[in-house]
Structures are given as C-alpha cells and as structure tokens.
Structure 1
Amino acid sequence: MFFYLTFACFLASLVLGGPTKHASLQDALLQLCAVPLLLLAGWRLCNLPTTREMRWSLAFCAAILALPLIQLIPLPPLIWTQLPGREALVSTYTLLGRSPDWAAISLSGQETWLSMLSLLPPLTLFLAVLTLDWRECRLLSLLLVAFAVLSAFVALLQAAQGVDSPFRFYNVDLRDPSPVGFFVNRNHLGALLYCGAAFATAWLLASYDAVRLDQDRIDHQTIVTMAGSAFALVALVSVELVVRSRAGVLLLFLGLGALPILAAIRPSPHAEFDGAESESLGRRRWLPVAAAFIVLALVAFFFVGWSSIQGVFDRFGADPLSDERPVFARVTFFATKAFMPVGSGLGSFVSAYQMFEKPRDMFSGVYANHAHNDLLELALETGMAGLMLLCVFIVWLVTRARKVWTAINRPVIDVYLQDAAMVVIFLFLGHSLMDYPLRTNALLSVFAFACALLIKAPGGGEAHTQGKAHQDRRRRRDALAQNAA
C-alpha cells in the first residue's frame, strides 16, 4: 500500500507540477496528497536502522525547511532596519512620516510561505523513496521513463496542432508555438526529456549486460526491456530536437555520452571478477555500446527530419545580445550584493529584482519572474545560508558519487540506475546555471528521486544472476582447459 501511495504522489507531481507559480490549485492538491505520505514515511523511517547517511539526509531536509521559517520570524524595527538592502523600505516609512513596524527578513512573507509549502511534495517523495526496496525504486524509474515518453507524444500533438491545441494545458504566451508538454516552458520539457533518456539508457545498458554476460539465457523480459528502452530513447531524442531547447539538447547529449562512458570504464560491480577481467569487460563494452547509440541517433534524426535539426542549429546561432538572460543576471547580481548576507527571502525574487531594475533593463513584453540563473537567484533570496547549504550538498554529492562508484556486489540494473541518478543531478545543476528547472514541482520531484537513489544502500539479498552466470562459465572454461592439457 505504501508503494502505491508513493507511486501515485510521484505521478501526481509529474502531471500537476509543471507550473512555476506556487499559489496554484495544482500546488495545493500536491501538498494535500503529500501529507499522508509524509506521515507514513516518517513512521517507516523510525523503524529503519539509523545510518550516518540517513541522519545527514534528515538533518539536511530539516535545514532546508528551517531556512524559510527563520526568514518569516518578525523582527523589531531596531533590527530589520539595519539589515542590508532595506534602505528603500526605511526611506518609504520616513517619507510617510511613520515609524517602522515589525517585519521579517523576507520582503514578501506570503511568497516565502508558499515557497516553503511547495517544498513539501518533493521532500516527502525523497523520504518515501528512502524507505522503499530496490525493486520498487526500479518501478518508479520506469514510471519516470514512461511519463517522459507520454510528455514527448503530447509535445508532438502540440507542435502539430499549433497554439490552439487542446493539449496545451496552461495559458502560456500564444506567440510562441513551441511544444511544452505538461509544462509552461519548453526548457522544462527539455529537462524532463533528458531525465527520462538517462534512466532509459540505464535500462538499455543493463539489458545489454544481461545479454552479453549470459547469452544462453536470453529471456522474454530482457528482450522486452531492451526494445522498450531503445524505443523510449529514440522518442525522447527525437522530440528533444523538435522542442529546440538549447539547454535540453546540449544536456541530453552530454548525459547520453556520460552514461556509456561510465559503463565502459567502471569496474565490475561483482566481487567475483578480478581486476584484469573487470578491465576487459569494460573494454568490450565500448564498441557495441557506441555503435548502438550511433544507430539510435541516426534513427532519431531520420524521424525528425533535417528541418528540425536545422532549427536547433539556428537556436544555438541566435544573437546573444537579443537574449534577456545577461540583463537578468546583471541586475540580479547587483541585487544580491545589496542584500548579502541575509538575502531577501525565499520566493521574493520579483520584489527584490524590481527594486534594482532600471528602464534600460526592461524588455517590451517581457516580465522578469526569475533570474534564469538559479545560483544567482538562490544567493539573492537566501543569502550566505543558502550558499552554504548548496556547498554542503555539492560536497555530499561528490562524496556519495565516489562511494557509489566503488561499491560492489550489486545487481547490474541498480548500478546503472545510480549512475543515471548521478548524471541527472549533475545535469540539473548545470541546467540551473542557465534556467530555473528546479522551480517546478515536477522536476524538483525528479531531482529528489535521484538524490534518494544515491543514498540508498545496494540491494541486499538479491541474486546477481549475471555475475554468477559469468563466473560459472569461466569455471567451466578453466576445467575444459585443464582436461585438454
């Protein structure tokens, strides 16, 4: 029952979590769905063995929630008027002839409160996944791949039917006919597509390893998994080119290149392989894996046609001076300097940005609702505290990635799923320097799922069939060689 509730909440986050506004009906529904799952996840966590990773994870989640709560604490005028960046507010009180009232650190208390509540579904999913076994985590990864493929087909319908398509679920800019799937921004659809492609690649590589290590026992499930993963990859790559998100296309191919390389150079996850044989296994992965991905890319290019590919090149060749992002970044940087070290409050970007925006920084028909650089926006809203939390997370990520890389005695599919999770996290961090993908509940839930996969210990008590089969064949070859001698 708990797994089905987790499955439903993850699916609801993917379907309803596309908007970036926190005061929406979708957000409220997701938060209501997360409450029972949070209570059950907390109860299950209390019954699990307490490990160092678990304690650090819970402490980090508590710190994330504590930050906006601290920003909402009312402060006396003697304190808040001395905070950096409040000079304009103090001047307003002076012009009105009024003495300042009590106020919080946040410039917009309502937005900070709503932003904190919006963290509830992804944090709940993170805690819930920590209590699942690996079989259930694999099913959630398949849900992510399936939903990404569904979003790809919805995007194709939107592209074919234009701005009047009934499959456009949100009131977006009708001047831009780009497909957006279940989101309001094509860059966010591009992010979902490269996440789905990463996990589809993990399943494809695991199926290939199963065939390579045990060619005498190729079952129906392996064939279906390999065919389904290949189909998903072709669909996701094709639609990514149709969507024409520059960040999406770039990060998609970075992710697709990183996973096979990791598969080729990593040592065997099975302890029974010695160093020399592990190295040879890695070398033998290179050629067929590279050939398979070249074929998949050619098939994807065949489906989308040269016009879509040319459109992607045109997007990369656009004049950078016509892009609003450099202006947004410059204004946000000056605002960040003014509000350091306490920040302006989570979710208060619009209020803080407008205090420093000048007429020459404005664009006709363009409204700066985000900095399009989440590092700058995080620094502006949360100050040094948010940057310290980010540094702690990056240190944890690098440390955990190293542990995952060196772990042994794991089922092959779990190895590749953790590799995919690691790649997805790095792709999100890179994407956040150009956009704000983690400001949507859907993509933040995917991020939380990937982080939970990295924390989970290797699946215990499962039969490592691929490694055992390879070991048995090696013993038979050695016995035959001795008899022949």
Structure 2
Amino acid sequence: MANRRKGTRKSAALAASLVNAFRALAGQVEDRAQSRVYRALLIYLGLAFLMGGAARYDVQSLMILRPLAVLACGFALWSLKIEHLRRYRFMAIMAVLIIALAGVHLIPLPPAVWQSLPGRDLVMHVERAAGIETIWRPFTLTPTDGWNAFFSLFVPLAAFLMAIQLDAAHLRKLVLPLLLIGALSGLFGIVQAVGDPGGPFYLYRITNNGSAVGLFSNRNHQALFLVTMIPILALFASQSVQTENAKKMRLAVMAGALAMLVPLILVTGARQGIVLGILALICGWLIYRTPQVVGVRRRTERKSYALAIAGVSGTTLLVLLTVMASRAEALKRLLSTNVAEEGRAQAWEIAARLAIDYLPFGSGSGSFVPVFQQAEPLDFLSPVYFNHVHNDFLEVPLTFGVPGMLLILAAVAAYGVAIRKIGQSNSTPMLAATGAAVILLFGLASFVDYPLRVPSMACFFVIACCWLRIGLLNRSISSGNNNGD
C-alpha cells in the first residue's frame, strides 16, 4: 500500500514537472514570436518613414513600399491568432469595413444602375457622344485613382496586423524608436532650413522647397509629426528607472528635447504646428508622472550632472542657430496670411456643396481632383491645384458619401468612450493617454489637412490606436505603477 502511494506521488510530481516544462517552453516560444514580430514591425516602420512620407500616388518609392506592405501583411497573417483580433475587435471591424468600402467602389455596375447615380450626367453625355453608353463602369468616377486608394490601404494594414500581436511591453518599446525617427526628421529639417532649397536632403520632387519638411514632402505633416513627439516624450520620461542618476538624465533629455522641438516646429512654416503644439504641451503635462526609481542606490554611485548640462547646453545652442537661420517661418506666415486668403476656405465651401450633390454614396474613392475641377469657378483657377480638400471631414463625405460619414462617426464615438474610460480610471493609464493624445492631434489636424493619407503617418496612427487599446486593457493591472501604462 505504501509503495502504491509512493508511486502515485512520483507520477503526480512527474506530471507537474512536465506541465511546468511545457508552460515554460510555451512561454519561451511566445516570447520569441513576440520578439520576431516586434523586430519586423520596427524594420517596417523605418522603411515606411523613409519611403512613405508623401500622399501623392506618383511617388516612385511607393513602387517598393506597397509590395513590401503586401508581403508584410502575409508575414503578419502567418502568426496572427483569433485572440489578437478579439482583443482589437473594434479596430479589426473598422479595418474590414474601410477596405470593403474602397473595394466596393471598384465593382463594375450595370449601365442603368451607374447612370442613375448622382453626378454622372457629364460622363453620360460623353459616353453617348462616343457611342459607349452601354459599358459597365465601376462605381467611382475615376477607376485608376480608386485602385490607387485601395492599394494604399495595405501600408497601414500591415502595421496593424503586426502591432495587434504585441503585448503591452513590446508596444511600449516602440516609444524610443519613434522618438529616434522624430529626431532624424528634425535633423533633416534643420539641414533643409539652412541649406539649399533644392538640395539633396529633400526626399520628394514635389515638396515645400525652402521649408523644413524633414522626412516628408509637406511641412504640415512634419509639423504634426514633431508635435506628436511631445506626449510621447512625456511617456518616455515617465518610465521607471534603476538609479537616481538615470532619473535625472532622463529629465534632462526630456527638457533638452522639448527645447529643440519648439523651434523645429516653428521653422516648418506650418501654422497648425503652433496651435497643435500648445495642445500637445498640455497633453504632455497631463501624461507626465515623476519616474519611479526601482533600483537600490549604491554607495559608490556619484551624482553626475556634467552630461545633462552638456546636453541641455548643446540643445540650447542648436535651438538658437535654428531660429536664427530660419527666422521662425511659421510665425511670419501666421501674421502675414490667413486661410481665406489662400483660397482654402473657398475650396471647403465648394467641396461641401459637392458632397451634398453626390449624396448618398459619394463620387467614388480617389475622385476628388477631377470632381473638384469640374465645379471650381473660373476665378479660382491658378497654376496650382488642390490635390485634396485639406479637410478629411469634408473629403470623406464627398467621395464616400453616407457610408464614409458613418465610419467617421463610429470612430469618433469609440474615441469618446475610450476617453471616458481614461477619465474614470483612478490612476491614468499613461500608454492609453499617450495614444489618445496622438489620435486627438491627428483628428484636429485632419480638419485643415490630410495626414492619414500619408503612408508613414497612417502607420504611426495605427500604433497610437493600439497604445490606446492595450493601455485600457491593462489599466486595472497597471493602475498602481509608473511603467508607462
């Protein structure tokens, strides 16, 4: 009887050891999978910012970036699990609906159906004159531009499929790489501001020559990207450190980086950067928490301020040189011009009328330019043209009609729910708050611009959405620490 009990205990111990070994192995496999996806996402983000800083469809680098995006989607789908989609259920549904809506606009329709849609009269007259009024046509008025709009969605989709597979720790690790990309874009901006307006540091043929556009083709997008670095910097400075010296160094780095960001935003010449920069500073102040020192201070550790002083001094010198070289272009433009003088307000009025004319389904994906050119008055003609409305809350209803407006309303409602959850938390989930701040800045910028049509910025926006979601999921666990959640 005793031998039987000993045998049962040995069997139970062996089974427990096997279970523990299996769990440890599974944890190692999961950690390796996380690291693999994280590294792939880092590489992909780097390539997106190097090749996807312009919203134009004829940018040559898109011939490389978009096929890479399709391959990245395949890589991400290989390791994607159903629980990843469940965790980001709303974002996944929105992604499917957006892609489906863009795809539906490419489906050929019978002539009778297509001709019954609003705003097709001019094309119908041309077809009758050419004798081709019986052909089937896609819903969108510009099928080529519609296909371009459809394929453009694969760039942020790849970032989304990879980001949702990462846990909170790996998503938080994206903070430093994004800050480094921001620093690189700012450095490009300094060289552009003090250098040749047609020099090699401008990465795109059609750009704001003479302005500090950084890794982008448009100064507004550079300004917005630099502005979003402020709440991210606050999150970075709030993360726990091992020593008091590390805490002081991190605070010095934050102070120096903020001192550099302000003039860099000004020299872009983007007026929205000033307004959004003030809001970003408020968001950063709300996000920031004094970092905890989790390590034990050693007696041999000496307080050193030399590196911090050198960093702040160097940053201050760089700030002064930048301001002197560029003469704060944004302030000059803010005082000398206004939106109405540049014709943007008139363009918004025309776009609003067109959106009503093309209700309920819109003019079709990618069709803004030819639709706008048909309706613009003669006194509005000039050597330049509007490639977008510069207000996505008008362009989406114009091109996608009521379905597009419903998607916007759903996104705004979901954002409102998330903000309410952040406000109700006893301890603010900082990762979620940072994501919410970035989303807010993107949303406000979309009233006067089109940042989400830039491939690299769309990927960045996806990361911010994932920060918001994972931060809220972990708020009950992380409410008592200062690790960045």
Q: Settle same-fold status: TM greater than 0.5.
A: yes
Selected match of 1:192 from 212, 225, 235: 225
Higher RCO (CA 8 Å, separation ≥ 6 residues):
1
Gaps of 5+ in 1: 212-216, 269-294, 468-485
- 1:342 maps to which residue? 361
- The 8 Å contact of residues 439 and 465 in structure 2, kept in 1 or not, is answered as yes
Distance 1:382 1:465 in 2: 44
Q: 1:19 aligns with which of 48, 54, 74?
A: 54
1:458 aligns with 474
1:459 and 1:402, CA in 2 relative to 1: closer, same or farther beyond 3 A? closer
| In structure 2, distance between residues paired with 1:21 and 1:49 | 33
Q: Measure, in 1, the Cα distance between the counterparts of 2:169 and 2:249.
A: 18
Q: Deviations over 1:193-217 (max 9, x none)?
A: 111222112222x15xx58xxxxx7
Higher mean displacement: 392-401 or 125-134: 125-134
Counterpart mapping for 1:145-164 below 5 A: 145-164=179-198
Question: 1:281: which partner in 2?
Answer: none
User: Quick check: 1:9 aligned with 2:49?
Assistant: no
SS in 1 for 2:122: helix
**1:126-205 to 2 correspondence within 5 Å?**
126-172=160-206, 176-204=209-237
Q: Is 1:242–2:261 an aligned residue pair?
A: no
Q: Counterpart of 2:195 in 1: which secondary structure?
A: helix
User: For the residues of structure 1 that align with 2:482 and 2:468, how far apart are their CA atoms?
Assistant: 22
Q: Is the aligned partner of 1:218 residue 2:243?
A: yes
CA contact (8 A) 1:129 1:449 kept: yes
Q: 2:95 aligns with which of 61, 68, 72?
A: 61
Q: CA deviation at 1:302?
A: 4.9
- The answer on 1:360 being equivalent to 2:394 is no
Flag the 1:306–1:19 CA change in 2: closer, same or farther, 3 A.
Answer: closer
Q: Go from structure 1 to structure 2 and tell me whether the alpha carbon gap of 1:109 and 1:163 turns closer, same or farther (over 3 Å shift).
A: same
Question: Cα offset for 1:147?
Answer: 0.6
- Of 398, 404, 407, the match for 1:386: 404
| Letter of the 1:352 counterpart | V
Q: Deviations over 1:247-285 (max 9, x none)?
A: 112101211112313558xxx9xxxxxxxxxxxxxxxxx
What letter corresponds to residue 256 of structure 1 in structure 2?
Answer: L
2:336 is paired with a residue of what secondary structure? Answer: coil
Q: TM-score, normalised on structure 1?
A: 0.80
Query: Is the Cα contact below 8 Å between 1:106 and 1:348 reproduced in 2?
Result: yes
Q: 1:50: Cα distance to partner?
A: 6.2
Larger Rg: 2
Hey, what's the Cα distance between the residues in 2 that align with 1:254 and 1:355? Answer: 38
- Which of 434, 439, 452 is the aligned partner of 2:453? 439
How far the C-alpha of 1:134 sits from its partner, in A, is 2.2
Note the C-alpha offset of 1:407.
4.2
- Of all paired residues, the percent bearing the same amino acid is 27
2: CA distance between counterparts of 1:347 and 1:102? 19
- Asked if the contact 1:404/1:454 (under 8 Å) is kept, the reply is no
Counterpart of 1:386 in 2: which secondary structure?
A: helix
Match 1:376 to one of 391, 394, 405: 394
CA distance in 1, matches of 2:366, 2:319: 40
Higher helix share: 1
Q: Aligned pair count?
A: 425
Name the CA shift for 1:76/1:50 in 2 (closer, same or farther; >3 Å).
closer
Report the CA distance between 1:298 and its aligned residue. Answer: 9.0
Distance change (3 Å), C-alpha of 1:371 and 1:466: closer
* Separation in structure 1 between the aligned mates of residue 458 and residue 441 of structure 2, nearest angstrom: 13
Distance in 2, matches of 1:221 and 1:15, equals 32
**Conserved? CA contact 1:155–1:180, under 8 Å:** yes
SS in 2 for 1:371: coil
Question: Cα 1:173–1:40, aligned 2, differ >3 Å: closer, same or farther?
Answer: closer
The 8 Å contact of residues 140 and 364 in structure 2, kept in 1 or not, is answered as yes
CA-to-partner distance for each residue in 1:104-150, whole Å, 9 max, x for gaps? 11011121111111111212212211111222212212111111111
2:117 to 67, 83, 88: 83
Contact 2:272 2:445 in 1 (8 A): yes
The whole-number CA distance in structure 2 between the counterparts of 1:323 and 1:22 is 24
Contact 2:185 2:215 survives alignment (8 Å):
yes
CA distance in 2, matches of 1:188, 1:49: 31
Counterpart residue identity of residue 430, structure 1: L
